[in-house]
A and B are shown apart, each in its own frame.
Chain A
Amino acid sequence: MSDFFTVYHHLFNTFLLGSGYALSQWVVMRAGVFSVATAGLASIGAYCAAILTTKLGWPHPLSILAGTLLGTLTGLLLSVPLARLRGVFQAIATLAFVQIVVAVGLFSDSLTGGAIGLNAIPILVGTKENLLALLCTIYVLLAIGATRVGRAFEAIRQDEAVASSLGVSVTFHQSLAFGLSGAIAGLFGGLEAFQTFTLFPNTYGFGLIVAALSYVVLGGRRSVAGPIVGTAILLILPEVSRPLADYRNALYGVIMMLVIAFMPRGIVDTGLLYLRRRRLAAKAAAESRQ
């Protein structure tokens, strides 16, 4: 058992962090925003936390909190110019944001260490903290889904005109979603900073954009469980079969194409929908027998 744990310890932490990024990606999509800003927001959280501790000697919990707040603030600010954009234009604008964050990380080497990386970050965070952060995130996202804000998100995602005709402010809720996305990405970025020794700007670049999107598209965009299941599958597949690991990116690409073509709602949402339809059919059958 403990052997198993040492081997898979690292994988489990990767899964917890990946789930955090997936949920950051998920929450904006939940409110109908096609943003890919999660990678940039995570970078800001990670660098903020690491710099505060390595350069200013802040205690790491405080640094992680600061990273979370800076991620939130950046998300909120980002939502202002993006309020007028929709769909693919939001995606392009947020892609540019991620590129800018990477570029700033590379060029301001006195602060970030540039391409050589920000080194000698103490290892202060482990599975316990990751798990706690993920559970808190899941709690908040479930709470939203069960109450007023979740209904507003859902209405906006499906039809903005309907949402506003009922008094729902699209701008406010999309800003809120950006803020939440920034908070989650900043939090998990900060946690990641204290378990990797070194931060590189490109860790939070195109690769993370694709990964976070893939987790959500594979798992599902509606239920909170979707992105977590998506993360688990996409991280575990290359582990169970070593040859697959060498072709990780190709494998992701193929899986994404298959899912989008044959299961556009994602695995979890398709499963839940199937169960719901079966339950309704059973109910209807029972009623017609009476």
Chain B
Amino acid sequence: MSALVIKGVSKHFGGVAAVSDVNMEVPPGKVTGLIGPNGAGKTTLINLITGVLTVSEGSIHFGAQDITEVPAYKVARAGISRTFQNIRLLAEASVIDNVMIGFYRNEKTTTPASLLGLHSARRETAALRDRANKLLERFGMSKFADQEAGGLAYGHQRRVEMMRALASDPALILLDEPVAGMNDVEAGELGEIFRGLARNGMGVLLIEHNVRFVTTLCDFVYVLDSGRMIASGSPEQIVNDPAVITAYLGS
């Protein structure tokens, strides 16, 4: 299993530095937290990791692989999966079809086999449908399988996005405010799922607003403010850090 290592990464939009000289490590088998006030640069950092945005300075490595300049679809193929802060589902597709596309990375079917509709291609599709149904069961979403994803309630849409990211069987998952807008019970349920993923060896980067949620769940926490990393450490260290308290109370 590979660790994500970010070294001296900056991103400028015109003259504005959204992220400045950030160093960070996300190891496998742990839940790493990333907190910070609105506009701190958390989502920008995820977009830099996943190749949606190109870095202005610095390097990003995943295991032995340098992914600094790698385009988004290749970062995904390297085993890094993500969810989006503003949920992005295939709104017209059914819930199960949304999950099915997640399996894409590990599908064995070749393009010619798919074009010719070979038996092997159809068999793999059927097998993936079974696996998608199992995933739906695990998330308690079976009864929504055939519904259009765009019509679901907010919390259910979040779950669909999570299932889709997990279907790609990533080594590292980046969650951009996955429990925003959920009540404590729902958030707690998902928190348990995140811990389970880490126990099975996955690296989890959890971006969150809610300091309490992060501190109960994470093994290690980074704090970003105005694009700079102002603190990092265990949850206990973080909640008692004067710089963090100022950043949160000051904003």
Binding site for B on A (CB under 8 A): 139-140, 142-144, 146-152, 154-155, 158-159, 161-170, 176, 180, 276, 280, 283, 287
Give the number of residue pairs across the A-B interface with Cβ within 8 Å.
Answer: 107
Q: Identify B73's interface contact among A139, A142, A167, CB under 8 A.
A: A167
Query: Provided the pairs A148-B104, A166-B102 are in contact, do residues A176 and B111 lie with their beta carbons within 8 angstroms?
Result: yes
In the assembly, what is the distance between CA of A58 and CA of B50, in Å? Answer: 52
- Using CB atoms, name the residue of chain A closest to B50: A165
Binding site for A on B (CB under 8 A): 50, 52, 71-74, 76-77, 81-82, 84, 88-93, 97, 100-102, 104-105, 107, 109, 111, 113-117, 121-122, 124-125, 143, 146-147, 164, 168
The answer to whether B125 touches A148 (Cβ under 8 A) is yes
In the assembly, what is the distance between CA of A214 and CA of B147, in Å? Answer: 30
The answer to whether A158 touches B93 (Cβ under 8 A) is yes
The answer to whether B92 touches A158 (Cβ under 8 A) is yes
CB distance from B131 to the nearest CB of A (A): 14
- Using CB atoms, name the residue of chain A closest to B143: A287
CB distance from A162 to the nearest CB of B (A): 5
Q: Name the A residues within 8 Å of B125 (CB-CB).
A: 146-148
In the assembly, what is the distance between CA of A164 and CA of B73, in Å? Answer: 4
Q: Identify B88's interface contact among A140, A162, A169, CB under 8 A.
A: A162
The answer to whether A148 touches B52 (Cβ under 8 A) is no
In the assembly, what is the distance between CA of A173 and CA of B121, in Å? Answer: 17
Q: Name the B residues within 8 Å of A140 (CB-CB).
A: 115-117
In the assembled complex, 9 residue pairs joining A and B whose CB atoms fall closer than 8 Å, in A order, are A140-B115, A152-B101, A155-B90, A162-B90, A162-B101, A164-B73, A167-B74, A280-B146, A287-B143
Query: Provided the pairs A155-B90, A166-B76, A168-B104 are in contact, do residues A148 and B114 lie with their beta carbons within 8 angstroms?
Result: yes
In the assembly, what is the distance between CA of A158 and CA of B93, in Å? Answer: 9
The answer to whether B77 touches A144 (Cβ under 8 A) is no
Q: Identify A148's interface contact among B93, B97, B121, CB under 8 A.
A: B121
The answer to whether B101 touches A151 (Cβ under 8 A) is yes
The answer to whether B72 touches A147 (Cβ under 8 A) is no
Q: Name the B residues within 8 Å of A283 (CB-CB).
A: 146
The answer to whether B105 touches A147 (Cβ under 8 A) is no
The answer to whether B107 touches A148 (Cβ under 8 A) is yes
Q: Name the B residues within 8 Å of A158 (CB-CB).
A: 90-93
The answer to whether B50 touches A143 (Cβ under 8 A) is no
Q: Name the B residues within 8 Å of A176 (CB-CB).
A: 111
By CB atoms of chain A within 10 A, which of B71, B88, B90, B168 has the most?
A: B90
By CB atoms of chain A within 10 A, which of B74, B105, B111 has the most?
A: B111
The answer to whether B76 touches A164 (Cβ under 8 A) is yes
State the 8 A-B residue pairs at the shortest beta-carbon distance, nearest first: A143-B117, A167-B105, A167-B76, A164-B72, A149-B114, A147-B114, A147-B121, A164-B73
Q: Identify B111's interface contact among A139, A149, A168, CB under 8 A.
A: A149
The answer to whether A159 touches B90 (Cβ under 8 A) is yes
In the assembly, what is the distance between CA of A143 and CA of B89, in Å? Answer: 24
CB distance from A263 to the nearest CB of B (A): 15
The answer to whether B146 touches A165 (Cβ under 8 A) is no
Query: Provided the pairs A164-B71, A166-B168, A167-B105 are in contact, do residues A147 and B117 lie with their beta carbons within 8 angstroms?
Result: yes
CB distance from B41 to the nearest CB of A (A): 19
Query: Provided the pairs A158-B91, A165-B81 are in contact, do residues A170 and B73 lie with their beta carbons within 8 angstroms?
Result: yes
In the assembly, what is the distance between CA of A168 and CA of B82, in Å? Answer: 14
In the assembly, what is the distance between CA of A154 and CA of B168, in Å? Answer: 17
In the assembly, what is the distance between CA of A170 and CA of B74, in Å? Answer: 11
The answer to whether B88 touches A159 (Cβ under 8 A) is yes
Q: Name the B residues within 8 Å of A142 (CB-CB).
A: 117
In the assembly, what is the distance between CA of A154 and CA of B107, in Å? Answer: 16
Q: Identify A154's interface contact among B77, B88, B97, B143, CB under 8 A.
A: B97
